Structure 1
Amino acid sequence: MDAALALDIGGTKLAAGVVTADGRIHGFTVEPTRREEGPDVIIPRLFELGRRAMAAAPEAAGGIRGVGISCGGPLDAAAGVLTGPLHLPGWIDIPIVDRARDEFGLPAFLENDATLAALAEYRHGAAAGSGSSIYLTISTGIGGGAVIDGRLHRGAAGNGGEFGHITVVRGGRECLCGRRGCLEAYASGTFIGRRADELIERGELETHLTAPTTAEHVARAAAEGDPLASVIWEETVELLGQAVTDFVNILEPEVVVLGGGVTRSGSQLLDPVRRIVAGGAMGPAARAVRVELAGLGDAVCAVGAGVLALDATV
């Protein structure tokens, strides 16, 4: 069967698997990134993870045609180089495609992780069957990707779809990208926890939370009626919902897919975002957009990497 080896380089985890043409992932294997180790240690571990995934899926590994690599940007997909991913400090101008090609003796391909997640959900996940869709990953950071009229949007240099870096609060919180007021600086898992910690330190609102917190802690506490957590969560979903509405009004997709660790809160996040989009989208088609949770779970970027390699080696 036709297949591709998929490698996903995240800020907190590395993942590998063998993706077949039906979108299924076999031998999916995950381990911590331990990004403090740097690329000279992490990349060999990533490749070893790939070999372990192939060994765990011998029925699919025999059909591998290429290697797909998923990573956050900035990167140069055409050159196959990680130019300086924000989630991987010190990874400057890493020729990851050349290294993967030399390691596995197969053609290798690189793409932004959120862009690949958008492709995976469009082909095999919650947006399957649509003509146009948007994907947002709401996790450590916020990224995204779009498929417009059946074509993956990459941008001029392959870094399009940075949906987490639109301004939602003018002059607001400083984002890790260096700008102020980005969606990521409010609605990402990192900043949900950070905002809660700041309010805890100020001591102005009642709460049973103690610092340091996580987005999961905040969501759970908000669901239980914790006053401080409720303030953080309500601001989070409001800003996220308004941002999604902007994306819908600009691109008018059929489906918006929300994925990433923060979306494990389920309807607690999805329902208010849906209400905000329904109330703010312009025109009948935009108001009819479906807002859905991702269908491919933690393997979404790896599945997208596999699709990338399969498409490129037809």
Structure 2
Amino acid sequence: MQHTRPPRLPPVLALDIGGTKLAVGVVTGDGAVHGWQLAPTRREEGPEAVLTRLFDLGRKAVAEAGLPEEVAAVGISCGGPLDAATGVLECPPHLPGWIGVPVGTMAAEAFGVPAALENDATAAALGEHRYGAGRGTSTMLYLTVSTGVGGGSIVGGRLHRGAAGNGGELGHVMVRPGGRRCSCGRLGCLEAYASGTAIAERAREALAAGRPSALAAAGRLTAEEVSLAAAAGDPLATEIWDEATWALGSALTDLVNAFEPELVVLGGGVTRSGERLLEPVAAAVARDAMPPAARAVRVELSRLGAGVCVVGAGAVAHDLLTGGNAR
């Protein structure tokens, strides 16, 4: 019996548009990133100026990658809401004033090749499944715990996008009805407790209310500072960190019960705390999820690290060329 080899994938250009930074690279068929570029977004300049600089970074990445083949497509990852089918950013909260921006069309015109736009966390889920911790799994959940909390899911080996293409808003699972206000406007979402933004906000609020803590000596208060202070035994930091890991563990338990995945992958800046985040979250899922899901699921950190959205955007561009994970 003859086995057909999978097609050799050409290099593609991957662009990631974040609220604070732009990340760009040329992604080859093995998931490797070449010509890596990083720059501040400076979102206050507006979409035209930011996208001009983004495309300039793309050209620089292609030049520095030094590959013999030209890029065959462009993949773009960005937080939504967005219309992946048309390549239009609708109104992403992390990019105020970016209303109805046709990023996909603009990228295609700038580089003269097809372009595809995808939600950043959804793209990250695809990248992690194809090239990272999720390789070989059929059902996988990915959560990015960073400025906000986003996510994506692989079901039956394929990326799940939802009816309108924005499925995977796992950060807006309710963990405490009537609780803290989330960026989406609801009260008590996971993002309002476990995101880096929320962790830092809780610490600032507590200090402003007069709570004693070593955090008062911190210059720029971040979730990382809270994590480090909690590890050192600071009572206030421990309280905030424990609530964040409780919220994440509680939400993941519900998601594991709903999806029964083989694997949950955690990525994003807050996961740089490593085992201080992973251990209590994984323990909560193992303790509270329904059997047999609790026995079957693994909870791991991303293997692609800070480049996960760029690798994911590259995977989206490759799928555009091959028809994989068809929209």
Equivalent residue for 1:159? 166
Gaps of 5+ in 1: none
Give the % identical residues. Answer: 61
2:281 aligned with 1:258 = no
2:143 aligns with 136
Instruction: Give the counterpart of 1:230 among 221, 233, 238.
Output: 238
- For residue 178 of structure 1, the aligned residue among 177, 185, 204 is 185
The answer to whether the 8 A contact 1:174-1:185 is kept is yes
Distance 2:310 2:215 in 1: 38
Contact 1:277 1:287 in 2 (8 A): no
What's the counterpart of residue 196 of structure 1?
Answer: 203
**1:53 equivalent in structure 2:** 61
Residues 170-179 or 82-91, more deviating: 170-179
Partner residue of 1:98? Answer: 105
TM-score (norm: length of structure 2): 0.93
- Partner residue in 2 for 1:37: 45
What TM-score do the two structures reach when normalised by structure 1? 0.97
What is the Cα deviation at residue 103 of structure 1? Answer: 0.5
Secondary structure of the structure 2 residue equivalent to 1:135: strand
Distance 1:197 1:227 in 2: 15
Does the aligned pair in 2 maintain the 1:8–1:16 contact within 8 Å? Answer: yes
Superposition pairs of residues 1-314 of structure 1, within 5 angstroms = 2-59=10-67, 62-210=69-217, 212-314=220-322
One-letter amino acid of the counterpart of residue 176, structure 2: V
| Alpha-carbon distance, 1:208 to partner | 4.1
User: What's the CA shift for 1:207?
Assistant: 3.3
The 8 Å contact of residues 130 and 255 in structure 1, kept in 2 or not, is answered as yes
Aligned-residue offset at 1:37: 1.2
Q: Give the CA deviation at 1:213.
A: 1.3
**Residue identity opposite 2:313 in structure 1:** A
Residue aligned with 1:195, SS: helix
The whole-number CA distance in structure 1 between the counterparts of 2:321 and 2:30 is 15
State the alpha-carbon separation in 2 of the partners of residues 160 and 311 from structure 1: 18
Cα distance in structure 1, aligned partners of 2:123 and 2:48: 25
Three-state SS of the structure 2 residue aligned to 1:27 is strand
Q: C-alpha separation between the residues in 2 aligned to 1:59 and 1:208?
A: 48
Distance change (3 Å), C-alpha of 1:208 and 1:118? closer
SS at structure 1 position matched to 2:89 = coil
Report if aligned partners of 2:87, 2:105 keep a CA contact under 8 Å in 1.
yes
User: Is 2:213–2:237's contact at 8 Å kept on the other side of the alignment?
Assistant: no
Pairs aligned (count): 313
CA RMSD of aligned residues (A): 1.2
- Compare 32-41 and 134-143 and name the one that shifted more: 32-41
CA apart distance, 1:202: 1.0
The whole-number CA distance in structure 2 between the counterparts of 1:188 and 1:95 is 29
- Give the aligned residue type for 2:183: L
